[in-house]
Structure 1
Amino acid sequence: MKLYALSVLYKTGDNKATRLISAHELSSFGYFQKSSVKEFMNFSSKIIVERTLASSRSSVKEQEYICHVYVNSNNVGAVLIADHEYPQRVAHTLLNKVIEEFEKKIDKKYWSISKEDEIRLPEVELLLTKYQNPKEADAMTKINADLDETKIILHNTIEAVLQRGEKIDDLVEKSEGLSLQSKTFYKTARKTNSCCVIL
């Protein structure tokens, strides 16, 4: 998974976009390729924001890259260029964060009068670096990964108990945590639905 570019643009009423801030991670390209790749990514970002309606999101495939874009209701747009493996939800979380930082720290009067890449906002570079590893950067992704591990561990634990020769029926009968009513319900359900297994 790889992120290549993160840009913030402002879209005027005539649907022209100005790139105000951009950050790139082009170490995987050769020295002589970097400037051309950067130009193409900046060009693509501008075109995509100009074609995206306010208050909408999209992801656009371009060769081996995906351009994730979000233009908010203030016509501030953010574009993230990533490879195909990068999780779409995490990409859009990053776009939200970068626009939020931009609107919080850059006065609105500069949005329409600034030239290409004239505004400095170090957080854009930092976010591009931080989000290179989506599991570390995004709390929800990290939580989901932890939950997946928990499910696997839990599943293995139940299988291990059953492999020792114990039966679910015996475990239910011995359980002090289940009320008499729950145990009766379980036994009735087992007899009625002998084709089904209740855990």
Structure 2
Amino acid sequence: MKLYSLSIIHKAATKANLLKAAYDLSSFGFFQRSSVQEFMTFTSALIVERTSQGSRASVKEQEYLCHVYVRNDNLGAVVIADNEYPQRVCFSLLDKNPKEADAMTKVQAELDETKIILHSTMESLLQRGEKLDDLVAKSEHLGNQSKAFYKTARKQNSCCEIM
């Protein structure tokens, strides 16, 4: 079971425009990869052009199975896989958004959210720490001033004696 390509294509009135695509061409020879990728891109665009809005289809092309889904807003997705790859899984992948389709992507999104919260918490802690440092410095300054005032007052009062 192998998944070779996943393409997102916008179906315009005259032709289909490739928006984004991901390929796994590691099973092909180095010199074959560019022509295989070109074939997959061309086939994906052609299938989206020929598929009506709001419908799904599976097309066999050479040794590949191409699964296509074109939404009502003319956004189409094509999965190219080998014959062994389950059709149900392909259409499930095309229906869901990436966070729901891939558990690792969902976990990564949750980690990113947690990381953002952690950074903001650390930032607020640092700000509080800076405020505490300011308070400590001000209290030390106030303590030094009160000692100086005490010494000055003591010198001023030493010339007079209480009876």
State the TM-score, normalizing by the size of structure 2. Answer: 0.60
Question: For the residues of structure 2 that align with 1:15 and 1:63, how far apart are their CA atoms?
Answer: 26
Question: Matches of residues 121-132 of structure 1 in structure 2 within 5 Å?
Answer: none
Question: Bigger radius of gyration, 1 or 2?
Answer: 2
Q: Which residue of 2 aligns with 1:113?
A: none
Question: For the residues of structure 1 that align with 2:24 and 2:64, how far apart are their CA atoms?
Answer: 14
Question: For the residues of structure 1 that align with 2:92 and 2:14, how far apart are their CA atoms?
Answer: 24
- Does residue 45 of the first structure (1) align with residue 76 of the second (2)? no
Question: For the residues of structure 2 that align with 1:72 and 1:15, how far apart are their CA atoms?
Answer: 17
Question: Matches of residues 1-199 of structure 1 in structure 2 within 5 Å?
Answer: 1-12=1-12, 14-97=13-96, 100-101=97-98
- Higher RCO structure (Cα 8 Å, ≥6 apart): 1
Question: For the residues of structure 1 that align with 2:21 and 2:62, how far apart are their CA atoms?
Answer: 21
1:32-61 Cα offsets, whole Å, 9 max, x none, are 000000000000000000000000000000
Secondary structure (helix, strand or coil) at the match of 1:85 reads: coil
Q: Which residue of 2 aligns with 1:143?
A: none
Q: CA deviation at 1:15?
A: 4.2
Question: For the residues of structure 2 that align with 1:90 and 1:54, how far apart are their CA atoms?
Answer: 21
**Structure whose residues are more often helix by fraction:** 2
1:80-113 Cα offsets, whole Å, 9 max, x none, are 000001110110001112xx45xxxxxxxxxxxx
Identity %: 59
How large is the RMSD of aligned CA atoms in angstroms? 2.0
Question: For the residues of structure 2 that align with 1:9 and 1:31, how far apart are their CA atoms?
Answer: 26
2:74 partner letter: N
Question: Is there any run of 5+ residues in structure 1 with no aligned partner, and where?
Answer: 102-122, 131-199
Q: CA deviation at 1:16?
A: 1.3
State the TM-score, normalizing by the size of structure 1. Answer: 0.49
